[in-house]
Structure 1
Amino acid sequence: MNEIIPHVVLGTSAVRTLTVTEPFSVEMVETARTLFKEMNRKGVIINDSFEDNRWMTTDEVSRVTLNFGFNELSYKKWYEGCFGIPLSQFVEYTKAFYMHLFGSNVLKMLQTSLNDIRRIIRTDPEEVYGVNAKLNIVVPGVCIDFFSSFSEDNERVSELAEALEQYFYIYAGKNGKQRTLSRFNSYLNFDEAIKRFWKECDDTEMRLFYFPLYIWWEVTAIMPTRPKEFLLTERDCLTTDATGTYLKLRKNRLKGSGRSVHYKLDKDYYTINVKIPERISKALQWYLDETRDYDDTSINTLLITDTHYWKWRQKKHENSRFLTYVNLNTILRYFYAEVLEGMYGYHIAGYGEVTDYDAKNIERIHLGDSRHFSMISLMQQGGTPLLAMVMSGHEDEEMSMHYATNMSTLVECQTMRMYREIKKGNTEFLLSTMPQLEIKDRKKVKLTDGTYCDSVLFQNANMEDCYKAYGPDGEMGYCPGCRHHLTDGKSHFGSKSVYEREITERAKELITAVNNVRNERGCMETVGELVLRLKDATNGYQQFLIEKKMKEEANGKTETDQ
């Protein structure tokens, strides 16, 4: 029997790293020791010994301690059996992992993510997996890549890595964080890159390795799906009739439902059929044809593991039952290193790095991101009420509301990208039935309270714009919530925040209405109306942004929002 050595990708994590692909081994640790000496020589690491469990580091401004001391009792009780190595070896691997992060990340980030790992190791895994997890995990992406590096075949490790996805949204919810413009630009860059790769790549072996990532991205954009649900897609998943081709997906009926767990796929999951475009059905059929001669997985899933391990010239591992979360995460990490950076020349932005969203920068996305990004995008595009019902199946309404706060940023990012295409002559800007936008200042009238209104309709005794402005208690004609309301008489193009607020409020209304229907307290007609209102708000913001950009360029300057 051939000895199977697990591989590890130290790099392309949630932060900017050096890309190293090698097994966890004595040689890998020795490489880390060499890197340690180099950082010590440069004065970044003050300690002289790799064996020290507390490394003092400095960037000439501040000193940051990296503490590799782990709780021995909790490790032995909960994690030694999971990783299959003693604590001393675990510490060595942790040090080696972090040595490869030096030189590309700020020291504070290294300290924060290391503390996250230490916090996890002293916690009962059941608490980490829990729906109501209360751990404060600040940099879950690094933790996911770290734990994914131990073994791709260990289902306990895979469950741990997958469970950490929820901490992206727990931490964001606790801190009220909104995704940045560069973050959404990264989603759109990734979308362009993976579709370009699939179109251009003619290497069958390479296509088979990256197919799970490509089809995951495409499918989740149509139907927001959790990684585990996607990975459990059945082999016999395609049906075709006169109306088109349908993909059968599994959806978890347990998430936040309070139902009993049966430990059977047919009891814990239900299936839905989703209509898919021709390009996706062709890709799926290609994969089924290319892999028909391989053995089925133990639970007969669409994605096999033979073509995954061939990447490292290995046979399928004996304990590899199906393509796991860790396998898919490994493919994602290789895509960043091999394709985005290696083939297409993207700059992989470091954790916390502020990037110009016009430039060729890309941040690290995570497997759970796709579902949430597609939910925001579908809502912004006015997805059907039925689709809204499925995609808002988040058990925490407060977290669903968090999506709403990100929608205006996505609209802005998409609009700026569209404007660049307009400037290049690759597309025209036609909004609704308007043949052309006239770029001119809007006349303003002073109101009784000293503020101003630039609504042309209002100035002609037409209250239609007023009817669209709602207050926090539902009152109609609420001036502070109107896009035409100006507090100081300044340009219409300084009212960006009003548009953003309107989109957020319309999205929140839609989420509330959908949840009411799910709980049998509302009606589908209301959902349909709110979808249209949200679409109207996003269209208005797009028109505003493009008019604003055109006016700025016509004046030869950039105006800032007031």
Structure 2
Amino acid sequence: MNILITVSYQLNTKKQRKLAQFQSYFLFNDILNDYWVKPLSDEERLFYYPLYLWWQITAVVPLRPREFLLTQRNCLTEKDGKYYLTLRRNNLKGKDKGVSHKISEDYYLTTYEVPFKLASEIINYLELTKDLSSTQLDTLFVTDSHYRKWKRVTGTKNRFLTYSNLNTILKYFFNEIVSQQYGYFVHHINFPDKLDEHEINFIHIGDTRHISMINLIAEGASPVTAMLLAGHDSVTTSSHYFSNLSQFIECRSYQLYRKLTNSQTSYAISKTQHKYTVNKDYVSLDNKGRCYSPRFTKGDYSDCLKVISSHAELGACTSCPFYRKAGKDYFSMDKTFKKSIDEEALIVDEAIKRVRQGKGNLEDIGEALLKLKTVSHSYQEYLTEKQLSLQEFSNGEKKVY
């Protein structure tokens, strides 16, 4: 099976790989995090440690696999109670670019502030491996703990933990943990359009860079995000991120809903996201539209004051998330939200193209991203409320919208 997977992947390396359904990424995240808090032996934990840190780091920072694997041993620093992670980055990709294969020439160092939880995991890994042999490149990940899985010793040519090593760890995790321990059926190739309850798609090491970029686009409009997009290798690849954005939001919303209904601890989708509730009974407006704002029903216009149209009109109903046209139910806006996301994404894409052509500014990308972020969050809140309302309706709590 491993041979078949490898051959299939090699035959399609020149094509843009279709990302596994986002549902699989969220499931993988839940399984990995649940597995990681179990009482594991040091030997087992050390074998899977590179995979765990790969997921925690590269699903947030858009690193290529080789950049991640070349992380230096002394990558973590602490100052004033805050922790900082230094990573190696490069701009080399493709056969047409000169590659010298010298870290000092091909890579530069970038430092990111990281939460204490991630820092503590890195510290723990460093402690567990302090007595093991360093790699020739003095990388964070040692190789001795990897080859102990098969009672072997590290070869003389193993300069660092390689892509093949990490890919092997991933395959073992899917086989030993996801399939055998958690009982999921793993689709390796020919992914189905819809996954059943205990099915998951096999994911690839390079997928997290795409996930992190999509998440950055959905979550923030920082100068860093603008720089990353402006410096991307090709316009078609960045466009690929935008085309996946609405699906990403839908799957993330479903995941949050599933956690809430299972009485599990929910996680914050965004620090800036404002959760709103919807009025059960709409208020008819003079323009024949409907307002579902519970505050407006009580004579409170605070929701209206939060709305500014594209023409700078304060309180414009047509730009308000609580407004629906005459005869439209509140939960009838899926296509409208998707259309809005697609339109705002095109504006971002155009801003990126202008910057690459030397005709625009990074601030233009940031402004376009901010608008896209606003629409994305509105769609997120809308979907969450829709799913919760359907759950209440199925439990016999009839709601009228």
TM bucket, shorter chain: 0.7 to 0.9
Q: Percent identity over the alignment?
A: 33
| Residue in 2 that maps onto 1:58 | none
Q: CA, structure 1 residues 144+317, in 2 after alignment: closer, same or farther (shift >3 Å)?
A: farther
Question: The residue matched to 2:127 in structure 1 has which SS?
Answer: helix
Matched, 1:347 2:193: no
- Report the TM-score when normalising by structure 1: 0.59
| Residue in 1 that maps onto 2:40 | 202
What is the correspondence of 1:351-390 to structure 2 with a 5 Å cutoff?
A: 351-356=190-195, 359-382=197-220, 384-390=222-228
What is the correspondence of 1:521-532 to structure 2 with a 5 Å cutoff?
A: 521-532=359-370
Distance apart, 1:198 and its partner CA = 2.1
Structure 1 distance, partners of 2:320, 2:195, is 31
Q: Pick one of 327, 334, 337 that aligns with 2:172.
A: 334
Structure 1 distance, partners of 2:377, 2:56, is 25
- Whether the 8 Å contact between 2:26 and 2:255 is mirrored in structure 1 is no
Structure 2 distance, partners of 1:497, 1:304, is 49
Distance apart, 1:535 and its partner CA = 2.5
Distance apart, 1:442 and its partner CA = 4.0
Aligned residues: 383
Matched, 1:284 2:122: yes
Q: CA, structure 1 residues 191+204, in 2 after alignment: closer, same or farther (shift >3 Å)?
A: same
Distance apart, 1:202 and its partner CA = 2.4
**Which runs of 5 or more residues in structure 2 are unaligned?**
294-300, 397-401
For residues 263-299 of structure 1, what are the alpha-carbon distances to aligned partners after superposition, in whole Å with 9 as ceiling and x for unaligned? 3211111111121221222222222222233332222
What is the correspondence of 1:545-556 to structure 2 with a 5 Å cutoff?
A: 545-556=383-394
- Report the TM-score when normalising by structure 2: 0.80
- Whether the 8 Å contact between 2:278 and 2:292 is mirrored in structure 1 is no
| Residue in 1 that maps onto 2:246 | 408
- Whether the 8 Å contact between 1:483 and 1:495 is mirrored in structure 2 is no
- Whether the 8 Å contact between 1:346 and 1:362 is mirrored in structure 2 is yes
Q: Which has the higher contact order (CA 8 A, sep 6+)?
A: 2
Structure 1 distance, partners of 2:330, 2:254, is 19
What is the correspondence of 1:18-97 to structure 2 with a 5 Å cutoff?
A: 97=3
Structure 1 distance, partners of 2:48, 2:245, is 30
What is the correspondence of 1:143-542 to structure 2 with a 5 Å cutoff?
A: 143=7, 167=15, 170=16, 172=18, 183-242=21-80, 244-255=82-93, 260-349=98-187, 351-356=190-195, 359-382=197-220, 384-390=222-228, 393-426=231-264, 437-440=277-280, 442=282, 453-454=289-290, 467-468=309-310, 489-514=327-352, 516-517=354-355, 520-542=358-380
Cα RMSD after superposing both structures: 3.9
For residues 172-195 of structure 1, what are the alpha-carbon distances to aligned partners after superposition, in whole Å with 9 as ceiling and x for unaligned? 5xxxxxx67xx1111011112222
- Whether the 8 Å contact between 1:439 and 1:550 is mirrored in structure 2 is no
| Residue in 1 that maps onto 2:399 | none
Counterpart code for 1:496: D
- Whether the 8 Å contact between 1:442 and 1:454 is mirrored in structure 2 is yes
Counterpart code for 2:309: Y
Counterpart code for 1:352: F
Structure 2 distance, partners of 1:423, 1:388, is 36
Structure 2 distance, partners of 1:429, 1:289, is 29
- Whether the 8 Å contact between 2:142 and 2:160 is mirrored in structure 1 is yes
Structure 1 distance, partners of 2:209, 2:273, is 32
Distance apart, 1:383 and its partner CA = 5.2
Distance apart, 1:534 and its partner CA = 2.2
- Whether the 8 Å contact between 2:279 and 2:292 is mirrored in structure 1 is no
- Whether the 8 Å contact between 1:482 and 1:498 is mirrored in structure 2 is no
- Whether the 8 Å contact between 1:210 and 1:331 is mirrored in structure 2 is yes
Distance apart, 1:214 and its partner CA = 0.9
Distance apart, 1:423 and its partner CA = 3.0
Q: CA, structure 1 residues 540+327, in 2 after alignment: closer, same or farther (shift >3 Å)?
A: same
Q: CA, structure 1 residues 305+326, in 2 after alignment: closer, same or farther (shift >3 Å)?
A: same
Structure 2 distance, partners of 1:464, 1:385, is 25
For residues 194-228 of structure 1, what are the alpha-carbon distances to aligned partners after superposition, in whole Å with 9 as ceiling and x for unaligned? 22222224211111111111111111123110011
Question: The residue matched to 1:222 in structure 2 has which SS?
Answer: coil
- Whether the 8 Å contact between 1:382 and 1:534 is mirrored in structure 2 is no
Counterpart code for 1:437: T
Structure 2 distance, partners of 1:193, 1:253, is 33
Counterpart code for 1:228: R
- Whether the 8 Å contact between 1:232 and 1:301 is mirrored in structure 2 is yes
- Whether the 8 Å contact between 1:483 and 1:498 is mirrored in structure 2 is no
Query: Which is greater in Rg?
Result: 1
